[in-house]
Every structure is written in structure tokens, then in C-alpha cells.
Chain A
Amino acid sequence: MMCKTRKILSFLLFLIVIGLALSPISHAIDSDLDDELTLNLEPAGKDYKMLLVYDYRNYFADLRDSVTTTREMFGHFNVSVDEVDQLSYQQGQLSQYDYITVVGLQGDFTNLVFMEDLAETDKTVIWVGKGIENLLNKTSRYNMEYAGPYYDFTSVIYKGENYPIGVKREFSAITIQNDQVEVYSWLFTGVDNLPFALNDQNLWYFSRIDLNEPLIFIFSDVLFEILPPHVEAYQKVYLRIEDVHPFRDPEKLRAIADYLGDKDIPFMVGLIPAHRQPGSRYITEMDEIPEFVEAIRYMQERGGSIILHGYTHTVFGADISGEGFEYWDGIEDQPLERDIDEWVRYTIGRGVKISIENEIYPLGFEAPHYAMSQDAYKSLKKYFSTYSGQIQSSDWGFSTSIIPFETRNTQLFHKFLPESLGYIDPFDAASVEKIKNNYNLIKIVRNHMAGVFYHPYLDIEYLKELVEFLEESNAEFYDMRDDYHWVKFDNYEIVNNNGTMNVSYPEDRSDPRKDLRRFFNATTLILIAILCLVVYTFIKFFIHSKDVTSKKMKG
């Protein structure tokens, strides 16, 4: 009996030892990847310079900053932009630039020095919006006349297509005097036509600064007539699986990966690496749910590129991961009051670390709800080359602006991959229809990038409908992996360049907190294993002992 005892005890000990030995393996795998990669934080700069002069930054009651949005749009082209308030413009300032863009929201160009410089310059001038009369009064070289504000347009005609413009709004009407003027787009009242976009010698004129479709698309497309592009020519669309947090069903994620993978459609995964339990302070980071991590890795294998979508996506507004804000105070609708640099650093640091440590390699970032204060963008730019989504162009309140193409090297981003088609909302029967319309509209822009997103908890049939539509439209899917992106946080680096990804991270990155948790998880498993053995042994004892005692009774 004693011998048997010893055997069982030594077996238990063996189990414990094996269990303890195995537990650290999961996080001790080191990176043998190339450490010598060099990070190109400053990709090729821009060759031309543009001065952007404005009177005001936004329309009354519009939270979007028209100047910021316009400036960011120029990021698609080979120009770097400096912006200046028309009042601060200094005489001769425009001579240092290749292009001058004037953005007029009220038309109050009171700085005469600026108007005089502008009237005399031969450089390309792009005038968007109100106040053109100030220039036309100074010079007679242009073959057009200001015709005052005009409200009655209902549609815009561009390249032979007529697009409704929705709510009536104010345009600064121009009448043209001869064929020297080339009109690119006409506004239409149903009876009258007046130009929306025209070119006369060095002047390009747009009769309204407008951030809404279809006008912004037409403006964007006409820009290709004016400026040399910086981004290579392509028309692409991307699909992003959105709000993927650790408590999403791994099976559904795999099903999506399989569906898209089988079709060879690259996609993005908006990954929220941690989940905060509603009503709790406790954050579950994804590595605590191995099935989830495996599902994400599987998505990665099947053509998914990871976009870090905040850290928990739960603070400052809502309590559920995927619902709250993170870089914007959604309750007071204002920038966060905390130290934003520190906060961005903390959340992004955690997200990047747990991702890389789990062999998940984000290539871009996307703020929860696309909400970010301007300072937060600045801070983010230190860590991520690439941003996916829409732009919050001001700190006046939460709003987002769309841009129809990829931009590079702007004030906000190194690289911006816009999403403008929207998402599938199961409560909105027309949402797929809306996406289709948006897609047809964005095609106005010759080199466009269109993004669309889909929540993985929905029926996969929605995704199939969407994908089938895009396939029928012969859309080309954007694959992040074929592009250049980097992520850098302390010693954690990911550089993706045209199909090759280099990852480096510190070898020693033990986190006592994590180690404890892992240890605990492993111990629980070992305990269960030991218990199985105990249960087995005890059942045997019980049966045996009962046998003996009942025999004794009979005997």
C-alpha cells in the first residue's frame, strides 16, 4: 500500500512540475525577427508648397472645421500646406509658395495687402467659397463677374451626371463672360445653370466650400486637374470588421475570416484589445481569452490586417466596449481634461504591447467613434503611421468629416485611409442601400478610396450581401499588407512594407501582473487536472471500500 501511495504522490508531483514548467512557455517565445530594421519616420516629403488663406474656419453651427478638412484633403497631392488667417497674411508671403488656396466661409477678406498680392500673382490660385468679389474688384484679368449669393440650386452636374445636392444652401454665383473660362461643373436650379467649378488662367474657382457629398467629391476630383497627386493612382475599397473585442464570438470571427479568405478578399479588423465589463473597473485584456486571440491570429492569416481600435472603447460616454469614447469626452462633448499625451501613450502602449506579445500585428489605428481631439491626433502620430476612418476636424464638438482618398504627410497623419461608405445597421433597412449609393457617389473621384465597416455580431448574410455588391461593382479591395505602415511604441516596432512585415520587441517584457494572471490560469488548470485524478482515485476507494464493508456485513 505504501508503495502505491508513493507512486501516486510522485505522479501528482510530476503533474505539478510539468504544469509549472509549461505555464511560462506561452509567453517566453522570443522574437528572432530582424532587429536591424530601420524606421523611416519621415517618408518622402512633398515637392510643392501651398499657402492656405482663410477668413473663418467653419460655418455657423457647423462643428466641422472646413479649413482643417480642406488642408487635410490636400494631403493626397504633392503639396505641403501652411495655413494662415487672412488678417495675419503678410505682404509678399505668397511668393514663397507654389499654390495659393483661399477658403471663404463668410467672404470677409478685409486684408487688402493679400488681395493685391493675389491679384498680381501668376501662381495657381484655388478659390473655394465666398469672397471672390474682393479679388475680381482688384483685377480685370479674369473673364467673369460676381453675381451675388444664390440659393436655388437643387443639383450639380459633373461630367454629364446630375447629382442632387439636398438642402438648399448659399453659393457665390459667377457669371462667365467668354470661352476663356472652362467650367468643370455646373450648378442647376432646374432652370438656370451657374458654374460650381471653373478655371480661368491661373484661377480655379469653386462657388462654395462644402464638406458634404456630392460637392466635396466633385471638388476633390477637380483638384486632380490642378495639383500633381502624391499618392499613386488607384480606386480601392476596404472592408473593416469593426469593434472586435475579446468578448466577441471567436466562431463568428473565424467564419468571417473564412468567407473573405476563401474569396481572397483582404480586410481590416478594428481590434479593441481589451474589454471593460459593464459596471466594473475591471479590464479583460485579450490574452486572457486565448480562443479570441487565436481567432484574431486566424483572421490575420486569412487576409486580415489589424487596426487598433482604441484600447477598451468604453470611457467618457458609455460603459460597453465598442460603445464608449476614448480620446474625447463624450459626456461633456469636449476634449478630455486629462493629460492627453499620457493617456494616448498609456492606452496605445497597452494595446500595442498585448497585440505584439500575442502575435497580432496592428498596422493602423482608428479612434473609437473616430472621435479625437486635435492634440490627441498629434500624440497618436508618434506611434502610428496609419489611421483608418474619418476625421474629427475640430475640438468644438464631436463631428466627423469624410475625405474621398488616401492622404499622406499631413498635419494630422502620416497616412490616412478614409472610410466614407458607412456601416450595416440592422435597424436601418436601408443601410445597405445607403452604402451602395455612397459607393456610387465616391466613384466621382478618380482616385478614390472607400471604406465600409461591418460588425461581426451581425448575421454574416449582411456581409455577404455587401461583398457581393462590391464584387459586382468590380471594386478592387485595398490590402494594407501591400502598403507601407509602421507602428512604434518604445521598443515595440512593426514595419510593414509591400508584403514584408518586420516586428521587433524587447526580449524581456515580463509583466508581473500578467505573469501572475497566467500563473493563476495555469494553476487553475493544474488544479482541475489534479482534481480529476483525485476524483478517479476516490471513486475507486469508495467502490472498493463499499464492497468490502458490505461483504463483511453479509459474512
Chain B
Amino acid sequence: MIFVDYLFLYSMTTIWLLLGMNIVLTYFGYVHSVQVRDKKLNILTDMNGFPTISILIPAHNEEKVIFNTVRSMLKLDYPHDKYEVIVVNDGSKDKTAEIVNELMNKYPHRKLKLINIPKEEGGRGKSNALNYGFKQSTGEFIVIYDADNTPNRFALRYLSHELSSHEKYGAVIGKFRTRNKERNLLTRFINIETLSFQWMAQAGRWKLFRLCTIPGTNFMVRRKVLDEVGGWDIHAVAEDTELSFRIYQMGYEIAFMPLAETFEQEPETLKVWFRQRTRWVNGNIYVLVKYLKKVFNVGSGRVLFDLYYFFSVYFLFLSSIIVSDVIFILSIFTDYRVGISGNFVLLWLMTYFVFTLQISIALSIEKGEATLRNILLIFVMYFSYCQLWLFVSFYGFYRNIKDRFLRRKTKWYKTERF
């Protein structure tokens, strides 16, 4: 046994732990989908009350999308007097504010508010905007939508029905779908990715550990909980992940309600996509490091699991992929080679097959997604889209280290709209 073999073993083990975890999550995600389906919830008749809701829409130069977003919020099927829509305009230099004002004039009887954050308090990012909007909101439940979202009509009903069904639920997240999936290959990949992420990671974790990660949009949280946790961490780039951790730590659960859907725009160019993803990686690493420091008093085992899940994605898995790539390159150019034998070809083929199946299952849960084209795309995805993740993680790491080093303050990182 030589050094290379140990490295190889390390890579194999960590990669397989994560693969195994994902297999289990897929299984439970699927179980959850079946259960939701079998429950046959009739959202029109089964509501047992309409708690007051505040929808917060942080906006920073959103003139392209804000009109449609606000209008679709106003069209939601929920008693009009029971919800308010608050657009938090953080120093937009475009016509965002004007558009919202126009809408307020058009719908004078609706609870639509525009909050302009003063210059001296603004420009500090989404968390800050959300905290600002939260302070001025009145609803018992707070819902967040990004400025490009179009929720389905019953989204509020589903979210509030779910959240009010259990006192232990601190928050409920819905599902987001890709509005522009037909745009190009990249958006098709993103569509497949988001669906599988939600059915595997979110639904699976919910079923298994009763927790999910807040996705930043289309989620509902109790005012009480936000009060207790003190709002959003304004230093966090991934404020949603950070908030999720604090909510679990307080002992609340975060539920997954797949029937509450929202459609959002996904990046249409690689450059925008890359910027968005590296920001996520950077943000998630921030959260991970923040909570790893207090790993011994995070409380419950499920939080530990979530920490481990993140840790294995960003540290173990990444390092394993790098190690195995290095071994591969070494074996080409030097005489260091892995000598451990095993039926790796078969193992690899099966892994590839399982990967494809997992995602296919996630797609099959949605109407019209498990098409032959999409399934063929999954096969291609493994070698193309998935490999980009490596670069994203690398760059995300780099940005995280850079941010730490320069003690850079959080600001608006916004995904470009199309």
C-alpha cells in the first residue's frame, strides 16, 4: 500500500459517503412526494383560518421585472385584507420605485407598500433590506419573494396551511421552478438541477430529519421566530442558509411544501450563472465555518447532519475530487499509480446509472419533466454541467478567503435579470 492508495481510499470513501447520503435522500424525497400526493389536500376547502401575511420583496434595480412580480402577488388567491405586499427598495437607480408607485395608484384598495431605504442605511445587501422591511411589516407570517418571482395562485394558501398546521414549524418553504427553462441548454440544465435539488436535498432531508434549507425565495416564516432569532445576519452572503441554521438551532422545524410553487428566472448565460453560484458557495462556506466553530453546541443531531452534509459537499467532496483528479494526472505523467484493485469500471457505471436514475425520479414527480429529452440531458449533464461545479467551488472558496482577508462588507449581489 502506498501513499497514493491511501489518498485514493480517502477519495473513494468520502465520495461514497456523499453518494450514499444522496441515495437515501432521493428515496425519502420520493416518499415525501408520494405522501403529499396521496394526502389529496384541497386547498380551497381545507383552510382552517387565514393568518395575516406580509410578503417582502427586496428590490435593487428591478425595473425589468418588478411590475409583473408585484402584479402576480396581488393576484394571489388569499383574502385581500389578510396579506400585504411590501417592496423594499434599496437604493434602486432605475425606475423600480416609480413602477411600484404606479401600481399603488392602480390598486389603491390593496395593501401594497413601498419602503425606500434611506441612502445612509441602504446598500448593505438583501439581509439588510429584509430586516428593514420586516420592521415595518405587520403580518403574523412573513413571506419572502425575490423580485423576479411569479408564484402560483395558491402559493400563500399552501404555505400558510402548512405553517399553521404545526406549532413546531418555524418556517415553510415552497418549491421554485424555472420560468425560462426552454431558453437554452444552460437553463434546461438549471431546471433539471433545481428540481432534483428540491426533491432530493430538500424533500429528502425534510422527510428524514425534518429540516430544509431556506432557498431565499418562496418561503414563509413566523414573525415570532424572526423576532426570536433577531432577523437576518447582515454579514451573511447566503442569508437564507444562515437563517435556516438559526431556526433549527432554536428547535423549530423547516417544512417543505412542494405544492407552493413559484416560477423564477434563472441565469441565461454562463457568466451570470457562474457569478451567482460562486456567491452561493462563498455564502455557504461562511455559514459552514460560522457553525463549525460551535459544532459541539449546535444542539440537535439533525443540525449536525446538516452541517456534515454541507461540510462533505464543500470540503470532503471537493477535496476528494481534486485528489482523484491529481492521482489521475499523476498516473499519466509519473509512475505513481493506484494499485488497489476492484471492479471500478462496473462500480463507476453503476454510479453513473444511479446518478441518472436519482435525477430522473426527481423529474418524474413533476408533470411533463421526465421527457426523453430531459433524461438524455441528465446523461450529458454528468460530464458537462456537473463538472462546472468544480470551478464554481474553487472560485467560491477563493472568494470566501478573499472576503475574510479583506474583511469586505456585504453588499448587493444581484443576479442579472433577463
Cβ contacts under 8 Å, B340 to chain A:
517, 520
Name the prevailing secondary structure of the B interface residues.
Answer: helix
B 330-368 binary contact with A (CB < 8 Å = 1; else 0): 000001111111111011001101100110110011111
Nearest opposing residue in chain B for A277, CB measure: B337
Question: Chain A's nearest CB lies how many Å from the CB of B356?
Answer: 9
Number of B positions contacting A (CB below 8 A): 40
State whether A553 touches B31 (Cβ < 8 A). Answer: no
> Which of A528, A534, A537 interacts with B346 by CB under 8 Å?
A528
Say if the beta carbon of B41 comes within 8 Å of chain A. no
Closest 4 CB pairs of A and B: A282-B339, A524-B342, A545-B364, A538-B357
A545 contacts B342, CB within 8 Å? no
Nearest CB in chain B: distance from A511 CB, A = 10
Across the interface, name the chain A residue whose C-beta is closest to B338. A282
Please choose the segment from A283-291, A357-365, A389-397, A420-428 that sits at the chain B interface, where 4 or more of its residues have CB less than 8 A away. Answer: A283-291
CA of A280 to CA of B340, assembled, Å: 13
Q: Does B27 touch A at the CB level, under 8 Å? A: yes
Query: Is there a chain B Cβ closer than 8 Å to A542's Cβ?
Result: yes
Q: Which B residues touch A458, using CB under 8 A?
A: none
State the CA gap A553–B365 with chains docked (Å): 12
Interface centre among B37, B342, B370 (most CB of A within 10 A): B342
Q: Contact: A5 with B27, CB < 8 Å?
A: yes
Query: In the complex, how many angstroms separate the beta carbon of B370 from the nearest chain A beta carbon?
Result: 5
Interface residues of A (CB under 8 A from B): 1, 5, 8, 277, 279-284, 288-289, 513, 516-517, 520-521, 524-525, 527-528, 531-532, 534-535, 537-539, 541-542, 545-546, 548-549, 552-553
Residues of B within 8 A of A280 (CB): 335-337, 339
B33 lies within 8 A of chain A by Cβ: yes
Which residue of the partner chain A has the closest CB to B365?
A: A545
Which residues on B sit within 8 Å (CB–CB) of A279?
A: 335, 337
Q: How far is the CA of A528 from the CA of B346 in the complex (A)?
A: 8
CA distance A537 to B336 in the complex (A): 39
Contact residues in B for A516 (Cβ distance below 8 Å): 1, 9
Main secondary structure of the interface of A (DSSP, over half): helix
Cβ 8 A contact of B1, one of A513, A546, A553: A513
**Residues of chain B lying within 8 A (CB to CB) of residue A545:** 30, 33-34, 361, 364-365, 370
Partner of B335, one of A1, A281, A524: A281
| Of A5, A517, A520, A549, the contact of B31 (CB 8 Å cutoff) | A5
**Within 8 Å CB of B342, what residues of A?**
520-521, 524-525
Q: Please judge, given known A-B contacts A5-B31, A528-B347, A531-B350, whether A538 and B361 are in contact too, CB under 8 Å.
A: yes
Whole-angstrom CA separation of A516 from B344 in the bound complex: 17
Chain B residue nearest to A537 (CB atoms) is B27
Q: Bound state CA distance, A539 and B26, in angstroms?
A: 12
Q: How far is the CA of A217 from the CA of B149 in the complex (A)?
A: 99
Set of chain A residues within 8 Å of B357, measured between Cβ atoms: 534-535, 538-539, 542
Assess whether B35 is interfacial by the CB under 8 Å rule: yes
What is the CB-to-nearest-CB distance from A27 to chain B, in angstroms, rounded to a whole number? 16
B391 at the interface (CB under 8 A from A): no
CA distance in complex: A545, B367 (Å): 10
